[in-house]
Structure 1
Amino acid sequence: MGRNNERNIKKHNDKLHKEQDKAKKAAMARKEKLKQITKQFNANKQNEINNYDMEHNDFNLLQQEVQKIIDLIAAKNGKEANNKLVQISQQLDDFIDFSDDDADLIEISRYQVLLNQLHQKINELN
C-alpha cells in the first residue's frame, strides 16, 4: 500500500473542499458586507440630498414670502406687511433652532438683516 490509497485521497479531498468552502463563505461574507456598506452609504447620500432639497425649498419659500412683504410695503399696506413680517420672523427663528449647517445659518442671518430693514420701512409707513 502506498501513500495514494483511497483513504488518504478522500482525506485530502475533504480537506481541500473544506478550505474551498471556507474561502467561498469568506468571499460571500465580504460581498454581503460590501452590499450593506454600499446600501447604507447610498441611504445616507439620498438622505443628504433630500435634506438639501428640503432646505433649498424652504429658502425659496422664504424668499417668496419676503417678496410679498416688499410688495405690501410698496402698496403702502403697513399693517399686513407687519403681520407677514412677524410670521416670517417666527419661521426664521424655527430655522435657527433646527439648523446645524454654517451655510444655512449665514443665509438665515442675511434674511434677518433684510427683515430688520423691512421692519424699519414698515415703521416709516405708519
Structure 2
Amino acid sequence: MTSSMILSKALIESGRDIPLKELLYAKRVLDNYMAVAKESSPLELLTEMKVAARNVEYFTTSDNPCEARNVISGMIEKIGDAESFDAFKAQASTPSQALFELIEDRAQLIKHERELLLASGYDASRI
C-alpha cells in the first residue's frame, strides 16, 4: 500500500462486498462530472452536479455493515459543500480515488482467481 492511498487495507477488504457494477457506476458518475466542471460553466450546472453525485443511490448510506461503503458515502456527501467548480473537483477527487482503489483491488482478485482456474486445468477463456 502506498502513502497516496485513501483507503486502509481493512477498508479495501471490507469493500470487497460492494458489487463491482456499483463501484464502476459511481466512479463513472464522479469522473464524468469532474471532466465537465469548468469555472466558465453556468452555476446551475454546479447544483446539478452536486445533486447527481449525492444521488448515486448505492452510496447514500451511513449505517451499512460494509464499512467501506459508509466511508465512501460520507465522502460523496461532502461534495454537496462545494461552492465552486474547482471545489467540486477537489472534493469529488477523494471518493473517486477511493473507488479506484476498490476497483483495482477487485481487478487483482479477478486476475488471481483466473490464474488459479488455469493452474487447475480449467479453461478461463470460456468464463
TM-score by length of 1: 0.41
Question: Higher Cα Rg: structure 1 or 2?
Answer: 1
Higher relative contact order (CA 8 A, sep 6+): 2
In the superposition, the TM-score normalised over structure 2's length comes to: 0.40
